[in-house]
Structures are given as structure tokens and as C-alpha cells.
Amino acid sequence: MADVKLLGTWPSPFSYRVILALKLKGIDYEYIEQDLSNKSPLLLQSNPVYKKIPVLIHGGNPISESMTILQYIDESWPETHPLLPADPYGRAVARFWIKFAEEKLSSASMIFRTSGEEQGKAVRETVEVMEILEEHAFGSLKEKGFFGGEKVNMVDLAYGVMGRWFDAIEECSGVKVIDPLKFPLFCGWAERFNEAPVIRDNLPGRKELVDFYKRRREMMLAAAAAASN
Amino acid sequence: MEEVKLLGWWMSPFSRRVELALKLKGVGYEYIEQDLANKSQLLLEYNPVHKKVPVLVHNGKTMAESLVILEYIDETWPNNPILPRNPYEKAMARFWAQFIEEKCNGGLWKIMWCKDEEERGRLVEEASHCFRTLEGELKGNKFFGGDEIGMVDIAANFIGYWLGVVQEVSGMELVTRDKFPVLCKWMDEFVEHSVVKETLPPRDKLHAEFEARLGAPSWKY
């Protein structure tokens, strides 16, 4: 049985996408926390192109980019908890939303990294993205549950970061973007996601996340202020 | 009765990717040229999120995003596969297709529209590094897919053909034969491939369009 290693950093939501996928499938793995300020030879060797986490190493073969890792996991362990629909069209729709997440969720992280006008711009962009998601993506779920139907699938994992992580980012940035009145379908889904079997036992704690992002934001804003002096 | 339609634009490398995949697999389809300056009701209805081409319609089911469509095509018509069957090799193909999209094409796009000389120089150097990395992936093979064209080659179509025209028009010397002999050899093989040839937009028309557009301040597909 080939061994599985995961190179990640706490509390990276990209790391967590992979952790949650491995847990859902019941796959044993060794987690190796990385120090990105002092990158390990293993990380540099396993992801020479981007030198980033997460990296999955399976039987010595490294795979990077979280959603590529998730598709690899699904194809390598197909017997338990499928992470994509079985039919090609369902998969095309799922991949469309995965790509949308990969391209559009970065504006959300900019809210946390910036202040003033720049932050305002990031907020506006994020609201636009949320409006599209609410209408076209979460709109198709209705009361159903998840993108995977009754069970979480990889589209849910792709967007799962927006639940607890975004909650923490909003709190430490002092900005409220996800208004439950404006985005009821998203909020309903996010609550279900946080409570889903396996997911609920493997998410980082809310307080730990808030504390972490608070410290990070202080450091980032201090660095930005120092740079502009 | 299979019904396949493709909404595309003659100049778009993204819609040409889909045409190439359909032709490689011998899938018949109806092509519907779009006017992107004046988007049709059909396009807006079929791709409400992005309002872009390509859109593939198969038996009434619509899908968008060229790389997503390529995977659908490969799964639906498994003859002449464009993706490897082995999960690890498949993951590598997806990785490189994404790298081409974000780093190579993304880098080129920034350069094409950058008006500041110094910034452009910096962007060219950054992109050069990415193209060196990509060139390394050929590993002595004729194509990224090995002996035959695969999804990574299809994803690299802009580099394979459009880039040459852009460089001619703009005077940009990023991917030249002396700097990237291996990548340029791949470009030669790519455009000479019997099926690829059928899907390339006419060079003189492309040249004229780029000449007109690269002069203009802002233009998007």
C-alpha cells in the first residue's frame, strides 16, 4: 500500500481542502507542517514550479494545486465517497464552478490584506462574485443540501473556505460582506457544510482562526505602512 | 441522434481549442460564429455567468470554459484520447494546462497590453522564465502529449500559433528560435499537424486584427 504524505500549513484553506478530502475518503496520511519562510528541501523538490503548499505525495509522486490534488484523490480512491458526479455533464458543471472558485475567490483574501480604498474595492469585487454565486451556483441547490447532493463533494470543498474562514476574516477586518439577508442560499449552504459529517470534526476552530488572522493582518498592515514611509 | 453545437469566435484560441478536440475525435458539430461586440441572445442565455465563448451544447446541455469542455469531450468520446488514463499522469496534464493558462498565457496577456517600457521589460523576463519551465516539460517528445497531441498541447495553442503573429506585429522577442529552440520545434510540429492545421485562423487576417487591436487602448475577447 503506497504511502500518502501531505505538505501543508495551518490554517491554509487550500491545505484544508485536501485534508477534508482525505478525511471524507478515510485515507490515512502523514501531515507535514511547512514553514514557508524557510522552505524545506522536500517542499522545493516536490513543487519546484510554484514552491507552494499544499502538495500531496503519493507513493513518492508529488501533486500540487489543491483542486488538481482533489481530482487525483477522487480518481485514485474511487471506492469511497465520490467527490464528483458520475456523469460527464455533471462533472463539466462541477468543474466549471471549481474553475470559478479558483479564479474569483482571491478578491476575498484582498479584503483581509488591505485597508481603506483598496479594501473597499476588494469588498465590491467580492460582493459581485457572491451575487453570481448566489444566483447561479447556490441557486441550483435550493434545500437539496450540497453540490454533491446529500453528501459533500469537491465543489463544496472548493467553496467551503468561504464559510468559517470568511467569517474569521470579516471579524478581524471589521468588514461584513456576507449578509444573510442578501445571500440566504449561500449562508444556508455554509451552515450545512460546517455541520456535515466529517467536516464538522475537521475544521479549524473559529477562535483559533480569528486570532491567527488578526495577528497576520496586524503584521501585514504594519509592513505596508513601513514600506510606504 | 447526437446534436453538438459550438458557439465560437474565429479569432479566439479558446474556441479553437474545442474545435481541435472535436476534430481530433471525428465528432460532427454545428459551428455558430459569435459577434462578441454585439452578443447574441443565445450566448447570453447559454453562458450567463461569463458571457464568453466557447460554449458547447450537446443534446441541449450547455457548458462553458474551454479546458472544462475538453475534459467533457474526452470523457464523452473516448476514442483518440487527449488525456492520459493513469491518474498521476492525468494530474500532471491538468497541472501543466493550468500553468499554461495562468503563467504563460496570463503573462503574455499582461505584456501585450502593457504601455510602460520598463514594466514590460520586467514582465518579459518573468514570462521568459515561465516559458523555460514549460519548454522543459517536452522532455525530448514531439508533443507534450508524447507522440500524439494531448490536452496540454491543445491548451498551449496560443503559444503554438497566435504568439508568432503577436510577436511579428508588436516586435516583442520573447520566444525566439535561438532562445527557445526546443519550444519552437514544438511550435513547428503543432502547426504542421494535419488536424491542427484545419482549425487555425488565417494568418493574414489574424495579423491585420492584431495590428488594429494592439494599437487600441483596451480590448478584451
Q: What is the pLDDT at residue A144?
A: 66
Q: What is the pLDDT at residue A129?
A: 95
Residues 93-122 of A with CB under 8 A from B: 93, 95-96, 99-100
Residue of B nearest to A65 (CA): B95
Residue B68 maps to a domain: yes
Regarding whether B94 and B192 lie in a shared domain, the answer is: yes
- In the structure, what pLDDT confidence band is assigned to residue A113 with cuts at 50, 70 and 90? confident
Domain count for chain B, please give it.
2
Q: What is the pLDDT of residues A119-139, one digit of tens each?
A: 999 999 999 999 999 999 998
Residue that finishes a domain, picked among B30, B57, B76: B76
Regarding whether B108 and B182 lie in a shared domain, the answer is: yes
A226 near B CB under 8 A: no
- In the structure, what pLDDT confidence band is assigned to residue A163 with cuts at 50, 70 and 90? confident
Q: What is the pLDDT at residue B217?
A: 46
This complex has an ipTM of: 0.94
Q: Is the pLDDT of residue A29 over 60?
A: yes
Highest mean pLDDT, choosing among A89-103, A212-226, B113-127: A89-103
Regarding whether B185 and B98 lie in a shared domain, the answer is: yes
Choose among A137, A131, A113, A103: nearest CA to A217: A113
Q: What is the DSSP string of B11-54?
A: T-HHHHHHHHHHHHTT---EEEE--TTS--HHHHHH-TTT--S-
User: How far is A167 from A175, CA to CA, in rounded Å?
Assistant: 10
Q: What is the pLDDT at residue A140?
A: 83
Q: Is the pLDDT of residue B107 over 80?
A: yes
CATH number at residue B93: 1.20.1050.10
Residue that finishes a domain, picked among B42, B76, B110: B76
Find the length of chain A.
Answer: 229
Domain that holds residue B146: 87-219
Q: For residue A132, give the nearest of B49, B92, B99 by CB distance.
A: B49
- In the structure, what pLDDT confidence band is assigned to residue B221 with cuts at 50, 70 and 90? very low
Regarding whether B144 and B174 lie in a shared domain, the answer is: yes
Residues of B in contact with A86 (CB under 8 A): none
Regarding whether B130 and B49 lie in a shared domain, the answer is: no
Regarding whether B136 and B211 lie in a shared domain, the answer is: yes
- What's the pTM value of the predicted model, to 2 decimals? 0.95
Regarding whether B108 and B72 lie in a shared domain, the answer is: no
- In the structure, what pLDDT confidence band is assigned to residue B178 with cuts at 50, 70 and 90? very high
Regarding whether B48 and B111 lie in a shared domain, the answer is: no
Q: For residue B75, give the nearest of A72, A91, A93 by CB distance.
A: A91
Residue B82 maps to a domain: no
Residue B81 maps to a domain: no
CA distance B132 to chain A (A): 11
Regarding whether B160 and B107 lie in a shared domain, the answer is: yes
Q: What is the mean pLDDT of residues A71-92?
A: 97
Regarding whether B133 and B162 lie in a shared domain, the answer is: yes
Residues 42-81 of B with CB under 8 A from A: 48-49, 58, 61, 63-65, 67-69, 71-72, 75-76
Regarding whether B205 and B97 lie in a shared domain, the answer is: yes
Average pLDDT, chain B: 94
Contacts of B28 (CB under 8 A, 6+ apart): B2, B4
Residue B94 maps to a domain: yes
